[in-house]
Amino acid sequence: MNPVVPLLEVRAITKRYGAVTANEGVDLSLRGGEVHALLGENGAGKSTLSKVIYGFTRPDSGELFLEGQPVVFPSPREARAAGIGMVFQNFMLIPALSVAENIALFLADLPPVFRLKAVGRQIREFGERFGLVVDPSATVRQLAVGDLQKVEILKLLLGRARVLIFDEPTKVLAPHEATALFQVFAALKAEGYAILFITHKLREVLACADRITVMRQGRVQGGFGPGEATVEALVSMMFGEQDLAGRPDPEAPTSPPPSSRPTLELRGASSPGTGSETALKGLDLSIRAGEIVGVAGVSGSGQKELGDLILGLRPLSAGSKWFCGVDASHWSIARMREGGVAFVPEDPLVMAAVPGMSVRENLVLGTGRRYWMDVRIDWRRLEAAMGQSFRALAFPVPRLDPPMGALSGGTLQRVVIAREMAHAPTLVVALYPTRGLDVRSTTSVRDLLRRARDGGSGILLISEDLEELAEMSDRLLVLYGGALVGDFPRGQWQVEEVGHLMTGSKETVHG
Amino acid sequence: MSTTLMLGVLAGAILSGTSLLYATLGETIVERSGLVNLGLEGILLIGASVGFSVTAVTGNAWLGLGAAAAAGCLANLLFGWLVVTRKANQLASGLALMFFGFGVSALVGAPHVGAVIVGLPKWRPAWLGAQSWVQATTLFNYDLLTWLAIPAALLVWWCLFRTRWGLGVRAVGESPGAAFASGRNPAALQFQALSAGGLLGGLAGAHLSLSLTLTWAEYMTAGRGFIAIALVIFSKWNPLRAVAGALLFGGAEALQLQLQARGSLISPFLLDMTPYLLTLLVLLAWGGARRLAAPASLGRTFYGSD
């Protein structure tokens, strides 16, 4: 075994919030030169543990050791000074400032009068060493999500952190960006950094972790050394044995033959792209009732624009859009929604929720006149209908009074999905519907989409998760650079071929 | 346009542009920290009246200048107490500060209306004074504030864009949450920005009464504070661009004065409106581009990070 003293060790951490025990007797050790994955469902206690390590939260009991010495972090400032850094899910970056300025802002030893060029040189140096190449003089507003994360990591490295905590870093990344992140992990590891990788994605854990700790209901459920873990072992440790039996067999083709009537049709639909948007180029697409059409593509291939075009947020510059056999090219969003279009957007907090309004008020938004009662809103009927929708999804019903903006990402996503699916939609347009959800919620969302399909809805599923698309889609389309470059019926695609189409390394294929 | 008219306009532009520039620089610092101080007009009035009164009593314009800067600073700290400490609405607080400035300046200045003072000393380098084209105008015959106007703009720019303090101030104006996460105290930085801004606002007001007019009259600023707020937008929150803006607006004022003095056929009421019309035009022209340049958190209240 490795005789080296761990860089950071937590022993017997317990943290309770009222009656809820978030962490109970948790032990964890992080060694230099290792990627340590912390795996668990939403609410398993991963976030609490990372907050304790980073000094956000004081534990009720338990101790922290830095290179064998006991330490206490009253606030993140002390944790940072001790060399602990955290990459948050929500980036702490200022869009209007340059990369170098953003990083300089977080340097503890920045002189009163500083030279940005010197900071930029350091950024380039670290960037080349760890595969984190970003232009220091670029304005952060212009960067893609993957680059933003690089800036966050560079911030920690220039601040001399040695223990790096990543809180679900791949949630915002496209598959190829995630792969690049794992290469960065490897480079950091080689130079002796300790990495704590918090996630609930099994595949990623197996791809990059040296050691794995699994948490369930606030406790450490078990751990694996290098090469010991398998998918089955991890799943049974995360959920217990009984849950496995309930999962649907992804291989079983349960879809009934789709009807021939298209719910939605695009004929040569185009839309110009301005700024960071992708132009859509002559899309021909038809979604029949009782069919799930999956759309694969790397991020920024026009997914958001396609969703917006269908809902009517974005006008057509050429071509036409047909909804249930009627020309809907110039329909308003309200008319599309009244026609029964459910929409789960890419960024629900921005596009599907009003953060300052209560969950209850958010539930009634976008439901048209359905809950109108003279000049008032029939809240009781709304709550009954939405409660039913939550139960159908096996989602816990959230409290309805707090503002929507106070919900965690996963809960917010569940509220939006429950609202959109509440009224037997004719057409569902779902962008990354399971992003940020734990395995259990992911399963119920997929089940519900299948049931909606079996009930005669047409479904457009836009996702970056190829496994999800393979499991769900009756037809798979590939989007690249705003154009549809591939069209495969169920079971006729190979992952490799789809991958090539997604990255543009192969020409158009229609299977 | 004749040469004398042009030179006259230029000379006037520099003289009346000086106080506009100081006021604009002050408001730029304040807005970069995320605060909108609509009370700038009141700060100018307080500076003008305190500066004049102290000079009238002591006979020393330098004491008056110092007192004006201190008074502007204090008034801005009052604004800070309202909007940063008490988290009051910035627009309402700014307007209240303006009316407060009307009242206080009238009160302080009332005993000294009509007093004769010796203003800030002016100085023209001898070799420039020897030029014949210069002699007919006030060109290059400036007080210290005018001579230091462009260096002051450079200094403010340097502080905002080349120092740790300036980076912190800009970060607070863009995202107080991120500034807080970086270990800074957003409220402290906003108070520092307000102090600097108030000091410059006080100097701007004092320049009006101690150099430009050598009198005190109620509401003598006549909207210069609001023109300066528009200039901050015109200059896209950049102290160096503010120099050009201040000259342009100072020039508009000087031109209409020159035209009036020459008995132009245009109604004097219309001519009086020139700087304000120009303000409207600038806001119209810059309307679209404004969004990108303004500090992202401008005018918002920071309730702390959770």
Residue in B165, B167, B181 nearest the CB of A104 = B167
- When pLDDT is cut at 50, 70 and 90, the band that residue B101 belongs to is very high
Min Cα–Cα distance to chain B from A111, Å = 7
DSSP string, A112-126: SB--HHHHHHHHHHH
Best CATH choice for the domain B7-117+146-293 from the list 3.30.1370, 1.10.1760, 1.10.3470, 2.60.40: 1.10.3470
- A13, part of any domain: yes
**Residue A257: its pLDDT value, please?**
56
Q: Which residue among A198, A216, A239 closes a domain?
A: A239
A170 shares its domain with A64: yes
Nearest to B54 by CA among B40, B41, B69: B69
A169 shares its domain with A219: yes
Q: Which residues of A touch B175 (CB under 8 A)?
A: 94
Cβ contacts from A onto B, under 8 A: 46
**Residue B71: its pLDDT value, please?**
98
**Residue B305: its pLDDT value, please?**
53
The region, left, alpha or beta by phi > 0 then psi within -120 to 50, assigned to residue B236 is left
**Residue A275: its pLDDT value, please?**
60
Q: Which residue among A424, A452, A485 closes a domain?
A: A424
Three-class DSSP category at A281: strand
Nearest to A283 by CA among A295, A297, A298, A269: A269
- When pLDDT is cut at 50, 70 and 90, the band that residue A245 belongs to is very low
A134 shares its domain with A276: no
Return the amino acid letter for A71: V
- When pLDDT is cut at 50, 70 and 90, the band that residue A251 belongs to is very low
What is the rounded average pLDDT of the residues A105-122? 93
A226 shares its domain with A331: no
- Work out the number of other CB atoms within 10 angstroms of the CB of residue A366: 17
Tell me, yes or no, if B290 comes closer than 8 A to chain A by beta carbon. no
Range of the domain at A373: 353-424
The share of chain A scoring above pLDDT 90, in percent, equals 44
**Residue A276: its pLDDT value, please?**
60
- A346, part of any domain: no
- A18, part of any domain: yes
Q: Which residue has the tokens 């809240």?
A: A379
For residue A353 the two structure tokens come to 């929720």
pLDDT above 90: residue A258: no
User: Under an 8 Å CB criterion, which residues of A touch B?
Assistant: 76-77, 80, 92-97, 101, 104-106, 108, 110-114
Higher pLDDT residue, A225 or B33?
A: B33
The domain total for chain A is 3
Test B296 with A94 for CB contact under 8 angstroms: yes
Test A114 with B164 for CB contact under 8 angstroms: yes
**Residue A230: its pLDDT value, please?**
82
Higher pLDDT residue, B161 or A57?
A: B161
Nearest to A202 by CA among A233, A173, A177: A233
pLDDT above 70: residue B245: yes
Three-class DSSP category at A137: coil
- A3, part of any domain: no
What is the rounded average pLDDT of the residues B223-245? 92
Q: Which residues of A touch B171 (CB under 8 A)?
A: 94, 97, 105
* B235-239: long-range pairs with CB below 8 Å, 24+: B235/B24, B235/B28, B236/B286, B236/B289, B236/B290, B236/B293, B237/B28, B237/B31, B237/B32, B237/B293, B237/B294, B237/B295, B238/B28, B238/B157, B239/B25, B239/B28, B239/B153, B239/B154, B239/B156, B239/B157, B239/B160
A299 shares its domain with A418: no
- A138, part of any domain: yes
Test A97 with B162 for CB contact under 8 angstroms: no
Beta strands A8-17 and A61-66 are antiparallel
- A347, part of any domain: no
What distances in angstroms separate CA B45 from CA A261, B49, B90, B204, one per listed residue? 74, 6, 20, 9
What is the rounded average pLDDT of the residues A24-43? 89
Test A96 with B295 for CB contact under 8 angstroms: yes
A94 shares its domain with A214: yes
Give A505's contacts (C-beta < 8 A, 6+ positions apart): none
Q: What is the pTM of this model?
A: 0.75
A328 shares its domain with A390: no
What is the rounded average pLDDT of the residues B250-275? 83
The share of chain B scoring above pLDDT 90, in percent, equals 64
What phi and psi, each to the nearest 5 degrees, are found at residue A199?
-165, 170
B 164-183 residues inside an 8 A Cβ radius of A: 164-165, 167-168, 170-171, 174-175, 177-179, 181-183
A305 shares its domain with A183: no
**Residue A260: its pLDDT value, please?**
67
Test B183 with A95 for CB contact under 8 angstroms: no
Higher pLDDT residue, B234 or A507?
A: B234
CA dihedral A43, A49, A54, A60 (to 10 degrees): 110
- A345, part of any domain: no
Write the pLDDT tens digit of every residue in A313-370: 888 999 999 999 899 999 999 899 988 999 988 888 788 888 889 999 999 988 878 8
For residue A407 the two structure tokens come to 């919900």
Min Cα–Cα distance to chain A from B43, Å = 30
A511 shares its domain with A445: yes
**Residue B306: its pLDDT value, please?**
45
- When pLDDT is cut at 50, 70 and 90, the band that residue A508 belongs to is low
Test B174 with A111 for CB contact under 8 angstroms: no
Q: Which residue has the tokens 């008034």?
A: B75
Work out the mean pLDDT of chain A and round it to a whole number. 85
A189 shares its domain with A71: yes
User: Domain with A456 in it: what CATH number?
Assistant: 3.40.50.300
Assembly ipTM: 0.88
A370 shares its domain with A334: no
Q: List % helix, strand, coil for chain A (3-state, nearest 5).
A: 35, 25, 40
Write the pLDDT tens digit of every residue in A45-58: 888 899 899 988 88
- Positive or negative, the Cα torsion across A206, A208, A214, A217? negative
- When pLDDT is cut at 50, 70 and 90, the band that residue A123 belongs to is very high
Residue in B167, B183, B296 nearest the CB of A101 = B167
For B168, name the nearest residue in chain A, comparing CA atoms only.
Answer: A105
* CA B144 from centroid of its chain's CA atoms: 16
Q: Which residue among A377, A405, A424 closes a domain?
A: A424
- Kind and range of the H or E element at A499? helix A495-502
Nearest to A199 by CA among A177, A167, A233, A226: A167
Test A111 with B170 for CB contact under 8 angstroms: no
Beta strands A34-39 and A194-199 are parallel
**Residue A9: its pLDDT value, please?**
94
Q: Which residues of B touch A96 (CB under 8 A)?
A: 174, 295-296
**Residue B300: its pLDDT value, please?**
86
First-to-last alpha carbon distance for chain A, in angstroms, is 53
- A2, part of any domain: no
pLDDT above 60: residue B90: yes
What is the rounded average pLDDT of the residues B171-187? 90
pLDDT above 70: residue A455: yes
Pair B213, B34: CB distance under 8 Å: no
What is the rounded average pLDDT of the residues A84-106? 90
What is the rounded average pLDDT of the residues A125-144? 91
Task: Name the E strands within A272-368.
Answer: 280-288, 291-296, 318-323, 326-327, 341-344
Pair A141, A295: CB distance under 8 Å: no
The share of chain A scoring above pLDDT 70, in percent, equals 91
Domain locations in chain B as residue ranges: 7-117+146-293
**Residue B288: its pLDDT value, please?**
57
A186 shares its domain with A96: yes
Interface test with A, best of B167, B184, B290 (most A CBs within 10 A): B167
Work out the mean pLDDT of chain B and round it to a whole number. 90
Higher pLDDT residue, B152 or A301?
A: B152
Min Cα–Cα distance to chain B from A92, Å = 5
For B32, name the nearest residue in chain A, comparing CA atoms only.
Answer: A96
Pair B25, B85: CB distance under 8 Å: no
Q: Cα(B205)–Cα(A441) distance, rounded to whole angstroms? A: 64
